[in-house]
Amino acid sequence: MTDDELIWRIAGGSGDGIASTSQNFAKALMRAGLHVFTHRHYPSRIRGGHTYTEVRVSEDPVKSRGDGYNFLLALGDSFARNPQENAYYGNEEVKPLSENLDELNEGGVIVYDSGLLDTEDIPDFDERVADNGWHVYDIDLRTIAREHGREVMRNTAGVAVTCAIANIEPRVIKSLMEDTMPEKVFEPNMSVFDDAYETVQEEFDADAPDISVPEGDHDEDQVLISGSDSIAYGALDEGCRFIAGYPMTPWTEVFTIMSQNLPEVGGISEQVEDEIAAAALALGASHAGVKAMSGSSGGGFALMSEPLGLAEMTETPVVLVEAMRAGPSTGMPTKPEQADLEHVLYTSQGDSHRVVFAPAGAEEAYRQTRRAFQIAYEYQIPAIVLYDQKNGGELQNVPASVFDEEPNPDLGSVVTEAELADAPHDPSGKYNRFQHDVDDGVSPRSIPGQEGGRYLATGNEHMPAGHISEDPDNRVNQVDRRMEKMEAIRADLDADEGTNAHHGPEDAEYGIMTFGSQQGTVEEAVDELNEQGHSVKSLGVSELAPYPVEEVSAFIESVDEVLVVEMNASAQFRGLTQKELGRYGEKLSSLLKYNGNPFEPGEIVDGFVTSIVEDGTLPGHETKFVPAASD
């Protein structure tokens, strides 16, 4: 973290408006020309319980939450305030302050609502403040809010205090509030803001901490967007007009965004009875000629295993989204992990195949979701967008022009009625929809309702027109043809540039590999390592099936050793890499984290230096090092 960077953490109770306040704060600063990145931490309960959001603000582009943080705004947890002792919510009011001290950097700022929180309840508070050189502002935000409006406006008071201390021009925040709030609410919020701002100026030395928000300037229009937003917009721009789903955190975000936007573009969203039905509906819509998607998180995706196989066997295009959270079973619903990789790659029986993309951030999520649809519909195969709770919920600024792309209504490899007239049919008059000898294994499909195109789609092995058959020659032909598609897709993807992200000096001595949401964090760690004098580069892989064998081999060949970074305990990505490449076990070590929190760049720096460079042992149990196979 650089000195002129603000990492602002707002903490309170779930349901206290922490998410919306931080989102507005981030957006206001983005509008002011800065780069922003947010990180959410929330418990699996609806109201109350300790929650926080971090907003990292910098003059330069930011790719992760950063290391630690330097500004705490601790609000009271209003749902923890329960007059009855031992009541369900218990007394956790002080948590927004007590729970966050461990990660606050030296010299950081603490603002807490003295109307609700008492530092007497925190053991050694004053000592820790002194040891760390923290600057403490006790301000009765609750009372300020009550005086000018309602208690919930203490969030606004807290933002005002932040502005006063970190030298953020109030106009930046106020103009956003004006845009987003109805007038009736806006007016009292302004009074709360002004009162809190003045309180700091009058009663405290606001210049004391050396913390201020830098100034910045964007070359072009930016949008504040999450991975979930980007997946939804990618799908919509790719002509997806049908979604079916069943809620499950964190997939619900994509499902919700699609459900809210689809009717506006004349599409259909269906919330159905379970995930088997959800995936099956997507298949039904796709079979009938509409671009369709479904998705879920681990447990729900498990139910989709059967329709997934059916999609492959019937060659029905479909895009499924899998939003990982910590497992097994229902695991930790609101915590990120990357442990569903093998589940997504191998679920469903038989020699079944699917395409899997794992975008790193919002920008990639948009592009790769579009690519997933293109591949699915061109090659008539299920494609999966694999992401996790982290990149689903993180907001970051992305140039608006990223989304300025033409929509694509192309339905892929289908025939028109005119083409059907000359197409091969079997003696019964059925269309040979599953022909044996075709380019790239792709046999174009007809759509129900088309004259001359009738055929049977079936999950059983079948002849060219779809009749069920156990004929051995036909079986081999059909299996080979379906598998041939994967090679064609690999060739197609290889022609794309820059899907898998390379970062750092090309001639570096060491490599770090990762997939999906950890990519940005790894890249920041790589920058830091090079600054420290190490020679490191990284590869963020976002095509997992078919695997980019050549590109990854070349990367591993070019360095002495590779550290594979992933958020799971069983090194699934490293395992996949070794399986696909058939070697390199002696070159790959793993840095793993699976406590429910994503990596911070510093942890990767430490992990690399301690384990790879110094051959030492990692302290603590947050991250785990698994050495290369020959060790």
When asked if residue 244 is in the footprint of another protein (CB under 8 A), the reply is: yes
Window 30-89: residues binding another protein (CB under 8 A): 31
Which of these segments, 90-98, 122-130, 301-309, 380-388, binds another protein (CB under 8 A)? 301-309
Both tokens of residue 313? Answer: 């066997």
Cα–Cα dist 550/531, whole Å:
29
Site for another protein in 5-34 (CB under 8 A): 31
Please, which residue, 167 or 450, has the CB nearer to another protein?
450
Residues 297 and 275: their CA atoms lie apart, in Å, by: 10
Region from 67-75, 126-134, 284-292, 480-488 binding another protein, contact rule CB under 8 A: 284-292
- Tokens coding 219: 């070359």
| Residues touching another protein, count (CB under 8 A) | 79
Whole-angstrom Cα distance, residue 528 to residue 478? Answer: 51
Burial (Cβ within 10 Å: 0-12, 13-18, ≥19) of residue 619: exposed
Query: Which one of the spans 35-43, 194-202, 288-296, 615-623 is the region binding another protein (CB under 8 A)?
Result: 288-296
HSE-up (13 A, CA, CB side) for residue 610: 17
Question: Judged by CB under 8 A, does residue 452 bind another protein?
Answer: yes
Name which of residues 397 to 416 contact another protein (CB under 8 A).
400, 403-411, 416
Subset of residues 537 to 566 that bind another protein, contact rule: CB under 8 A: none
Q: Closer to another protein at the Cβ: 468 or 491?
A: 468
Instruction: Give the one residue of 172, 302, 457, 549 binding another protein; rule: CB under 8 A.
Output: 457
Q: What are phi and psi of 249, to 5 degrees?
A: -70, 140
Cβ at position 601, least distance to another protein in Å: 26
Q: Check residue 91 for interaction with another protein (CB under 8 A).
A: no
Q: Does the footprint of another protein cover residue 447 (CB under 8 A)?
A: yes
92 binds another protein (CB under 8 A): no
Judged by CB under 8 A, the residue of 428, 437, 583, 631 near another protein is 428
Q: Does 501 bind another protein (CB under 8 A)?
A: no
Closest distance to another protein from the beta carbon of 179 (Å):
10
**C-alpha to C-alpha distance for 357 and 374, rounded to whole angstroms:** 12
136, 152, 177, 276: which one binds another protein (CB under 8 A): 276
**What would the DSSP string read from start to end of 464-479?**
TT--B---HHHHHHHH
What part of residues 334-373 is at the interface with another protein (CB under 8 A)? none
Considering only 12, 108, 227, 453, the residue that binds another protein (CB under 8 A) is 453
Looking from the CA of 88 toward its CB, the CA atoms found within 13 Å total 5
Nearer to another protein, 377 or 510 (CB): 377
Max Cα–Cα distance, the chain, nearest Å: 91
**Residue 58 C-beta: closest distance to another protein, Å:** 19
Min dist CB 473 to another protein, Å, is 16
Q: 491: which DSSP letter? A: H
Closer residue to another protein in complex, CB, 170/459? 459
Least distance (Å) between residue 177 CB and another protein: 15
Span from 137-145, 189-197, 273-281, 543-551 in contact with another protein (CB under 8 A): 273-281
Q: Which of residues 150-169 bind another protein (CB under 8 A)?
A: none
Question: Which single residue is written with the structure tokens 């460079």?
Answer: 613
Choices 73-81, 115-123, 425-433, 614-622 (CB under 8 A): range interacting with another protein: 425-433
**Out of 208, 468, 479, 491, the residue judged to bind another protein by CB under 8 A:** 468
**Amino acid type, 101:** L
In sequence order, which residues have a C-beta less than 8 Å from that of residue 118 and are 6 or more positions away? 94
Could you say which of 35, 154, 241, 587 contacts another protein (CB under 8 A)? 241
- Burial degree of 498 (CB within 10 A; 0-12, 13-18, 19+): exposed
Which position among 107, 170, 188, 284 is part of the footprint of another protein (CB under 8 A)?
284
The correct pick among 83, 427, 582, 620 for binding another protein (CB under 8 A) is 427
586: alpha, beta or left? (left if phi > 0; alpha if psi -120 to 50): alpha
Separation of CA 3 from chain center: 27
Q: Which of residues 250-269 bind another protein (CB under 8 A)?
A: 261, 263-269
**How far is residue 224's CA from residue 175's CA, in Å, rounded to a whole number?**
16
The least distance separating another protein from the CB of residue 383, rounded to whole angstroms, comes to 18
**Identity of the residue, 299 or 575, whose beta carbon is nearer to another protein in the bound complex:** 299
Torsion region of 301: left, alpha or beta (phi above 0 gives left; psi -120 to 50 gives alpha)? alpha
Contact 561, 586 (CB under 8 A): no
Single residue of 83, 123, 182, 429 touching another protein by CB under 8 A = 429
Kindly tell me which residue out of 60, 126, 417, 586 binds another protein, with binding defined by CB under 8 A.
417
Which residues 6+ apart lie within 8 Å of 431 measured at CB?
Answer: 420, 423, 424, 425, 446, 452, 453, 454, 455, 465
Smallest gap from residue 300 Cβ to another protein (A): 14
- Binding another protein by CB under 8 A: which of 67, 113, 237, 253? 237
Least spacing, CB of residue 12 vs another protein, in Å: 24
Quote the least distance from Cβ 241 to another protein, whole Å: 6
Reference 237, options 92, 58, 369; nearest CA is 369
Q: CB-wise, 148 or 291, nearer to another protein?
A: 291
Query: If DSSP codes are grouped into helix, strand and coil, which group holds residue 261?
Result: helix
Count of Cβ atoms closer than 10 Å to residue 484 Cβ: 16
393 or 607, CB closer to another protein? Answer: 393
* Contact status: 424 vs another protein (CB under 8 A): no
Task: Round to whole Å and give the CA distance between 134 and 107.
Answer: 5
- Tell me: does residue 454 bind another protein (CB under 8 A): yes
Q: Does 271 bind another protein (CB under 8 A)?
A: no
Q: Which of 85/470 has CB closer to another protein? A: 470
C-alpha triplet 199, 196, 121: angle, nearest 5° = 85
To the nearest whole angstrom, how small is the minimum distance from the Cβ of residue 418 to another protein? 9
CA dihedral 566, 568, 573, 575 (to 10 degrees): 130
Q: Is 471 in the site for another protein (CB under 8 A)?
A: no
Q: What number of CA atoms fall less than 13 Å from residue 41's CA on the CB side?
A: 19
- 20 closest CA partner among 139, 181, 172, 140: 181
- In the range 205-234, which residues lie near another protein by CB under 8 A? 221-225, 229, 233
List b or e across 164-183, with b for residues whose CB sees 16 or more CB atoms inside 10 angstroms: bbbebeeebbbebbeeebee
Token pair in block for residue 12: 């309170």
Question: Which range in 163-171, 442-450, 530-538, 596-604 contacts another protein by CB under 8 A?
Answer: 442-450
